Structures are given as structure tokens and as C-alpha cells.
Chains A and B, each alone.
Chain A
């Protein structure tokens, strides 16, 4: 049982990013800790630009994720449309 995770600073932008993650990864668990939000999921998780843009109501570049990012666990793959975190085993 390997969990991938992402932690974001708790702020207005992250709120929408987390909403998007929840929508695209219905089994993900969201944990609120002081000043941060940790989202974890079994094996893989995906963050889609389109869903985040929909939640924010504006254009958003995936690289902008770095501004609010605290940490990640898992193998990363990123292109302009999505970022995925996976464990292979």
C-alpha cells in the first residue's frame, strides 16, 4: 500500500487546486494541518490544468503550482495539461 501525496500552502489559490484534485481523484484524502493542506491517494494522483481553471474561473499554468507547493511524494510526470504522481509498485 503506497501513498502518493502533495502538500500545498493553505491559501486562496490552493483551495481551488484542492477542489480540482478532489474532483479528478475521488478517492483522495484531504488533510488540513496548520497553514497547509495535504492530499494523499493510493498509488497515483493527477492534477489537471483544465479542472483547476474551471474552479478558479481563469487561465492557470501548471507551473504556477510551484508557487504554492510544499512537498510531493511519488514519481512526477508533467506536461502543460496535467501533473501526475505515481508509485509503480
Chain B
């Protein structure tokens, strides 16, 4: 006898909504203590919609299928010595940055959604947060597994978790997630669920991962796209939370708008790393940062905010600042890292002639005028045996924690510099967005753990560069850091490609 299958809507109702119960002997406010302090007003959680109507049993089924595909590819990649088939060993440095800078953010998101899901009174939202929390855990695990193979053959992968909590540039993504996780549950949802997942992660996972494929990195493209397949669900959750909050009560609108303004800018600043990965760290180019920014930010976010206009939501004002920077961002970021190449756990380099020409072609209004001359000077110094390393420590923006290397877009040779005073101290910012975020909640941001301040205060291993980089950050000095030219990575890569595999096998056999 065959039973009639339930349709999707009924399944979702029974397996999600029906799991909730009424609280008879505890006050609702006692159970969901964090639901009201941010000023958000919820009148009816049952209005929550999950457009995918995914139930937990289907979730496990399809996640298992994704994992099987993914691990089959990891095995094939390892068995076929995939590390030798990437375009160029320089490329692997983008993956080092990914493991140290992005993957720990997946773990932070896992913690964040586990916590926030518990704080929300609506069962639909709770189940969606539970799935996302599990997804994020899957993402960091698969990323560690994928990159453990590279760790056998390249420097800089060995201590990513230790480094994430200490190293100066990694404080940028770390402080971003710390900021979101120390906010209330609804702000976290707008910060990570909406601003980061919906508006910004496409820029990280779509064009960069397509680039990984184009550079022969089968393992990375596969974990990237496998993670991104969950991201489509996260994006839907992010958009749903916004629509839900705005439909619940008109008082929610100004709060949601302020969070969107803040988190769009916070997230965009974190993506500075991705801009330079796209333009400088992919030997085979798919598209420039500017091109991907136009498709996945200007076009996609433009359509999104137009759709949200019916609720009274406006495009965050800092979007215009982000758009103004698109022809400069990656070059300024790469320059900062080239300057501090001795203090980074990955290699930096000057682009080849061919790469510079590609940059000129893609950035006709900025590259030749502002960046090529600087690079040519640095290349000259390198050829004279005086590769430039900046011996001083940079001033950091109090909010995004990026060195103050961004310039004024009206005058791209002037540093963009903003200041605020709070409680008798002066604070420095890279942009209007970062300054406004501080000014709204100075009590929060004065507590920022700024790596440069911490070094000067003697909290990072000692007074010498080696104490900080070697003992405190646990970099293998001379292997993980400095220019790609002359690195052990480069030497190994060259040795692999001069090998004659057939002869080598015969030698081993005899």
C-alpha cells in the first residue's frame, strides 16, 4: 500500500512549525531574554516564511550528498598531486590568506548563529539559524581538510587558528565577527545574515572561486562552490529577516536601516582582502575586482535595495564611497601588504610586465597614473638588491583596523583621514563610514584590540620584530614571510617542475 506523499508546504508545517510549543510555566521574556532590548518589535512570529521550506530531514539528505561529492574531489586532488598543477606557486598565497583570514570567520558565524537561534522566539527562524550554524561548521571543516593538503607542500598554513587571534591583518576579519557576535541577536542577523551573506559573500565565493578553477585549484573551487550552495539558502534567510522585521512593526525601519548602513560598510572593508586576491593573486585572471564589484555589488545590491524601497529602505549612503573606491581598492591593499611583506604569513611580489599591462587595461583611469610608477620604483629597488620593506608600524583605523593606507577619492594621492575625540582621547579612521560607526557607539569601539597599539604596549611577545612575528605570531621567519622571490615555496615549486616524473619513479623502483 503506497501512502500519499505530503506536499512540501505541509511537510514544512509539520516538521518545523509543529515542533514549537506554548510556554505554560515560564515567562516568554525569561526564555527569550535578548529579544526586546535592541528596540525591535515582533508582534507575530508565525508570519515568518522560509521560501525554500527546507525541513531537517531533507537538509541532512542533501548536505550528505554535497559532502560525498566534495570529499571524492579532495581525494582525487591529493592522489593526483594537485598541488603541482596549479598555475603558479604564487597563487597558493591567496589560499593561505583564505585559510587564515576567511575560514575562522566561518567558525565565528557557526558560533554566532547557534547563539542567535536560541534567542529568537519564532520556530521557523530558529530552525533556519540551526541549519546555518551547521553549514558554517561544515564550511570551516571542509576548508581545513582541503587546505591540509597544501600544508604538506607549502609554508604558511600551519598555525592558522593561532595566527587568526593575533596577526595584525587578521584582526580585520576577526574584529568584524567579534563586533557582530557581541551585538544583539537582530543586529547579528542583519550584520551577517543580510549584509554579509546577501550583499557581500558573492564577491568572495563566486568570482574568486571561479578564478581558483581557472588556476587549476580543483580542491578550492569545489569547497568554495560547495559552501556557496549553502550560501544561497543563507542569502534567502538574510533577506527574509529583513522583510520580516520591516513587516512586523514600522518602528523597526530606522533601526534596520542604521544596521544596514553600518554592516554594509564593515563588510565591504573586510572584502579589501578579496579585492587584492582577485587582482594580484590569481595568475590566470577571470575578471577584475572592479568588474566583479559592478556585477555583484552595484548591479545585484542595486536590484535588492530597489526591491526593499517599498518598505522605506534606502541604499546605505556609504555604498557611494565603496563605488568611488573600486578603481583603487585592490592596488592600495596590495601596496600595504608589499610594504609589510616581512610581517605577513604569505608571500608578496611585484606584478610581472604582463600582469601590469592587464592592470592598466582593466583600470585605465587609475593604474598607470597612480600605481604603476610606484611599482616600477619598487621593482627597481628590488633589482638593485634593496627590496623595500617598511620598518615602521602603521596607524590603524579604530573601526575596521586596516592600516590607514586608503586615499581620498577626490584626490587619490592624499591619505583619507578622519578623527574623533572621546573621553579625552583621539581616535583615527580611514573613512566616513568607519568614523560614523565609532561615533554612534564609542563605548564599544574604544575597546578594540588594535594590533599596533598592543605591540607598542609590549603585549605581543617583546620589543623586537622577531619577538612579535616569530614568538608571538608563530611565523616561521624566512619561510612564511618575505617576497615570493627567494622563498622556500618558490624553490620547491621550481624543483618539482624540473623533475622528470618517469625517471624519478624508476629511481624509486630500483
Residue numbers of A with Cβ under 8 A of B are 2-5, 7, 9, 33-36, 63-64, 66-80, 87-89
Contact = CB atoms under 8 A, between A and B. Distances in A.
Report the 6 A-B pairs with minimum CB-CB distance, sorted nearest first. Answer: A35-B213, A2-B303, A76-B51, A34-B214, A34-B213, A69-B229
Contact of A80 (B8, B205, B286, B306): B8
5 contacts: A67-B66, A67-B69, A74-B303, A76-B51, A79-B9
Given A73-B300, A80-B7, A89 B232 contact: no
A87 B53 contact: no
Nearest to A36: B210
Contact of A9 (B225, B236, B302, B309): B225
Contacts of B62: 63-64, 66-67
Contacts, number: 99
A33 B307 contact: no
Interface residues of B, number: 41
Given A67-B69, A71-B206, A36 B233 contact: no
Contacts of A2: 302-303, 306-307
Nearest to B5: A80
Contacts of A68: 229
Given A63-B54, A67-B69, A69-B232, A35 B307 contact: no
B508 interface: no
A70 B51 contact: no
Nearest to B55: A63
Nearest to B7: A80
Main secondary structure, interface of B, reads helix
A78 B232 contact: no
B180 to A, nearest CB: 21
Contact of B225 (A5, A70, A75, A77): A70
Contacts of A76: 51-52, 236
Contact of A35 (B209, B231, B302): B209
Contacts of A70: 205-206, 225, 228-229, 231-232
Contacts of B213: 34-36
